[in-house]
Amino acid sequence: MSHHSVIVIAVCWIFICSNSALPFFELDNMLLKNFTVNRKETNMQITGRAFPSVSDINPEIGTDLTQVTWAHAVDNRKKLRRALRGSVMMIEADVSLGKLKSDPHSENRPIMAHPPISASDLSLEDFLDEILDDTQYKGIKLDIKSIDVLERALQIVKSREHKIRVPLWLNADIIKGPVDSTSQPLDAHLFLSLTKYYFPTAVISSGWTTKLGKDGSYTIDHVRNMRDALIAAQITAPVTFPIRAALSTSVESRENMLWLLNQIPGSTVTVWSSYGDEVDVPELLDFIDFIGKEFIYIDVHSGLRCRMSRYRAMRSASSWFLGSWSIGRTGRISAGAGLFALLTYVTCATSFLPWNTDSYNIQ
């Protein structure tokens, strides 16, 4: 390949990348600084302040939200210590009512556990204190598992607000989603109104209940119901929509998520996946490119993340060295692409080693 050809390819690549962003999604930086609510029935004044974003405390990621790293389901002390020692940027954990193992009389208190588990060695108070007292700045994402624990959990977090110098996300499944999901979502109005009352500037992570099925996708009804709930609650905080990777790769899901992002200013998408989900990796990468890396967080287990990295590496290698765009689809690997993919594979395959610890925990 001549030098002129290489230059032409490079210029075209830069032009494509520079025009792949979505200019109509500008992140809303007008977070409320002095929002106050007086709750007469409790005589309590709630003052909201803006929490930092993930990119504020990790400026190296720039605008590429796919670079944010996660520790998932950090529901016990061992996982929490591991996450705090590691290089993850966000720590996600489940909050439910249950018993603290060290206190047999501690029934129905907020603990870190995913139902049906009802006992844990980690209370919500200790979970927060461990993170907030740590010398590293790691964001907090609390996945609220029931309405019963919601306000009690918010009150506990509120009592430590003066110590929070990291991103704060509050998550719940509030809309029934694909595929004819039988799980009951949390009451959308109650979740949104209480999170807005206690933390008007925390990131609201509002999702759908899901069940895997053939040809499942996020329909226009799913996204309209979400849009309507957020508008009815007059949410002005940043919003992210957690979506299941295996259900997000269809054309229908892609178009409907784009529509929803346009409806809610400053919103983003968080892609998640469970072990055992069958995910079309090339289609998932196309979805990410379609929406734009500045609007998508990737919170998936290490196996899927490595598959994504390998496909991305092969595509990049074939584009730069061979001028071929089909390798990710056909599986035809040249020496250059193969070497690049091999390096990525080795990095992923050794993620369990002490010096390259996998930060994602099994859901």
Least confident of 70-84, 196-210, 257-271, 347-361: 347-361
Q: Which residues of 212-242 are buried (b: 16+ CB within 10 A; e: fewer)?
A: eeeebbbbeebbebbbebbeebebbbbbbbb
- The confidence score (pLDDT) of residue 342 equals 59
pLDDT of 316 above 80: no
**pLDDT band at residue 6 under the 50/70/90 scheme:** very low
- The confidence score (pLDDT) of residue 362 equals 39
Mean pLDDT of 31-42: 32
**pLDDT band at residue 198 under the 50/70/90 scheme:** very high
d(CA 109, CA 143) in angstroms, rounded, equals 15
Task: Tell me the pLDDT of the chain averaged across its residues.
Answer: 82
- Tell me the sheet residues that pair with 173: 207
- The confidence score (pLDDT) of residue 117 equals 96
Report which DSSP code applies to 176: E
Domains in the chain (CATH in brackets) are: 27-300 (3.20.20), 302-363 (no CATH)
- The confidence score (pLDDT) of residue 170 equals 99
d(CA 122, CA 250) in angstroms, rounded, equals 39
- The confidence score (pLDDT) of residue 227 equals 99
Q: Which alpha helices (DSSP H) does the chain contain, by range?
A: 3-18, 54-57, 77-85, 124-132, 147-158, 188-198, 220-232, 251-263, 281-291, 302-317, 327-330, 335-349
pLDDT of 34 above 60: no
pLDDT of 202 above 50: yes
Cβ-contact 266, 26 below 8 angstroms:
yes
- The confidence score (pLDDT) of residue 321 equals 52
pLDDT of 85 above 60: yes
3-state secondary structure of 266: coil
351 burial level (CB within 10 Å; 0-12, 13-18, 19+): middle
3-state secondary structure of 298: strand
- The confidence score (pLDDT) of residue 106 equals 83
Task: For residue 68, give the nearest of 39, 41, 89, 40 by alpha carbon.
Answer: 89
- The confidence score (pLDDT) of residue 13 equals 44
Q: Which residues of 289-324 are buried (b: 16+ CB within 10 A; e: fewer)?
A: eebbbbbbbbbbbbebbbbbbbbbbbbbbbbebbeb
d(CA 344, CA 309) in angstroms, rounded, equals 7
Cβ-contact 358, 352 below 8 angstroms:
yes
Name the amino acid, one letter, at 195: T
* Percentage of the chain lying above the pLDDT 90 cut: 65
